[in-house]
Amino acid sequence: MNLDEILHKENLSKEEIVFLLNLTDKNDQQFLFDRADEVRSKYCGNEVHLRGIIELSNYCEQNCIYCGLREDNKKLQRYRMTPEEIIETAHVISNLGIYTVVLQSGEDHQFDTAMIAYIIYEIKQKAELAVTLSLGERGFDEYRSWKMAGADRYLLKHETANPKLYSIYHNKQRLDDRLAHLKFLKEIGYQIGSGNMIGLPLQTVEDIADDILFCKELDLDMAAFGPFISSPETPYRSKSAGDVDLTLRVMAVGRIVLKQVHIPATTALATLDDAGRIKGLNVGANIIMPDLTPSPYRERYQIYPDRKCINDNPLNCKGCLQLQIESIGRKISNSRGDSMKIGEHSRA
Ligand code: 5AD
Ligand code: SF4
């Protein structure tokens, strides 16, 4: 196969995606990265959007095999922020000049329909912010109520598009259900985000190619590709982490295949490699999602250990990111950074 030709094709086959994901020669890999950067620049420009995450609860009713928040982890000290703390944190984020807040938690039904709706409504009343929800699989009526309350986007990663692996990782849950949730969310007007994890046990490069095609099929507004990191109180405690270079290739191929989609340089990537954020921004990413959860909660949201910046003061975060982003000739956006597909489907 001719690399240059493949990199400029309008549509890539699964075989071509696998070929790109397997590039190990340094020059070939750089060629791929440069093409992804070019596609990013064409479709997204030079702006980087920040999404400030508030981790409102680390309770979770699920038992995902890789995740430190899984219900069976009895060692984790659990917390729930109060609605007032969450709303206050959202305003701090807004005052930092960050225009999206992500409300994230494990699957925690104690935060019921009305409480989440109240929080969304209050945040939107007092600030010009986009609200993204990342609360796991919830009821279809709940998604509807939260949309009415003002939520703009929903983030629900598929983690793997291989149905067998999906059931192994997710305690016999079904990929089809996740797909139905994502489709419903899109149908009722949410901008939707999904994505996978790279380097999970049993996963092949073919599976990862299917993940990218799954994102294309779903016509996502945001696609996140992040490495797996082993977490001590889980069945995968002794598994090795995802490979940084493979993750970068997945992001690059993701950009080339998905084109006008938002792609974050993930915290997991930055955790494995100190330069991960910059590397990610240079291979197709245009989003950074800093954790702005206040102490003492942030330390307890232990999906995996030693998360990047976990001991830093959230108030210093934007300045630090700004220096990094400007060092590579990019700049922080002053807009909400809505879907680049808006117009193709409804806006919030
Ligand atoms: N390594 C990397 N990412 C993880 N997540 C959960 N566990 C891990 C892990 N061990 C990510 C998943 C999930 C989100 C809550 O965090 O993508 O969607
Ligand atoms: Fe819960 Fe999400 Fe972790 Fe699964 S990945 S255990 S749903 S917090």
- Domain boundaries along the sequence of the chain: 3-335
Q: Which ligand is nearest to the CA of 159?
A: 1
pLDDT band (50, 70, 90) for residue 338: very high
Is the Cα dihedral 212, 181, 293, 338 positive or negative? positive
pLDDT number for residue 344: 52
pTM value? 0.97
Cβ within 8 Å of residue 10, ≥6 positions away: none
Q: What atom of ligand 1 comes closest to residue 236's alpha carbon? A: 10
Q: CA angle, corner 328, sides to 342 and 323, nearest 5? A: 95
Q: How far, in Å, is the centroid of ligand 1 from the Cα of 236?
A: 12
What region, left, alpha or beta, does residue 198 occupy, with left being phi > 0 and alpha being psi -120 to 50 degrees? beta
For residues 30 and 196, give the distance between their C-alpha atoms in angstroms, rounded to a whole number: 23
The set of protein residues with a Cβ atom below 6 angstroms from ligand 1 is 66-67, 157, 159, 197, 226, 228-229, 231, 268, 303-304
Q: Residue 126: phi, psi to the nearest 5?
A: -105, -5
Q: How far, in Å, is the centroid of ligand 1 from the Cα of 313?
A: 22
Q: Which ligand is nearest to the CA of 70?
A: 2
Of the candidates 222, 278, 209, 280, the one whose C-alpha atom is nearest the C-alpha of residue 247 is 280
Q: What atom of ligand 1 comes closest to residue 241's alpha carbon? A: 1
From the CB of 156, is ligand 2 less than 6 Å away?
Answer: no
The pLDDT mean for the chain works out to: 96
Arithmetic mean of pLDDT, 268-276:
98
Of the candidates 235, 251, 233, 218, the one whose C-alpha atom is nearest the C-alpha of residue 339 is 218
Q: What atom of ligand 1 comes closest to residue 230's alpha carbon? A: 10
pLDDT band (50, 70, 90) for residue 343: low
Q: How far, in Å, is the centroid of ligand 2 from the Cα of 38?
A: 35
Q: Which ligand is nearest to the CA of 241?
A: 1
Is the per-residue pLDDT at 1 higher than 90?
no
**Bridge partners (DSSP) listed for residue 54:** 103
Q: How far, in Å, is the centroid of ligand 1 from the Cα of 271?
A: 12
pLDDT number for residue 325: 97
Four-point Cα dihedral 307, 35, 342, 48, nearest 10: 40
pLDDT above 70 covers a percentage of the chain that reads 98
pLDDT by residue (tens digit) across 308-323?
A: 999 999 999 999 999 9
Is the per-residue pLDDT at 262 higher than 80?
yes
For residues 138 and 314, give the distance between their C-alpha atoms in angstroms, rounded to a whole number: 29
pLDDT band (50, 70, 90) for residue 345: very low
Is the per-residue pLDDT at 347 higher than 60?
no
Q: Which ligand is nearest to the CA of 108?
A: 2
Give yes or no for a cis peptide into 235 (omega within 30° of 0): no
How many residues does the structure list for the chain? Answer: 348
Cβ within 8 Å of residue 321, ≥6 positions away: 50, 277, 288, 290, 332
pLDDT number for residue 157: 98
Residue from 303, 308, 310 to probe ligand 1 pocket by mutation (most atoms less than 8 Å from CB): 303
pLDDT band (50, 70, 90) for residue 346: very low
pLDDT band (50, 70, 90) for residue 342: confident
pLDDT by residue (tens digit) across 130-140?
A: 999 999 999 99
| CATH 3.20.20.70 given to domain 3-335 | yes
3-state secondary structure of 275: coil
Residue from 70, 168, 181, 200 to probe ligand 2 pocket by mutation (most atoms less than 8 Å from CB): 70
Of the candidates 269, 231, 266, the one whose C-alpha atom is nearest the C-alpha of residue 73 is 231
Beta strands across the sheet bearing 52-57: 52-57, 100-105, 130-134, 153-155, 191-198, 222-227
For residues 290 and 51, give the distance between their C-alpha atoms in angstroms, rounded to a whole number: 7
User: 172 vs 208, which has greater pLDDT?
Assistant: 208
pLDDT band (50, 70, 90) for residue 291: very high
CB-count exposure of residue 268 (10 Å: 0-12, 13-18, 19+): buried
Of the candidates 301, 284, 323, 131, the one whose C-alpha atom is nearest the C-alpha of residue 195 is 284
Q: How far, in Å, is the centroid of ligand 2 from the Cα of 60?
A: 6
Half-sphere exposure at residue 321, Cβ-oriented, CA atoms within 13 angstroms: 33
Is the per-residue pLDDT at 71 higher than 60?
yes
Arithmetic mean of pLDDT, 31-52:
98
Q: How far, in Å, is the centroid of ligand 1 from the Cα of 158?
A: 11
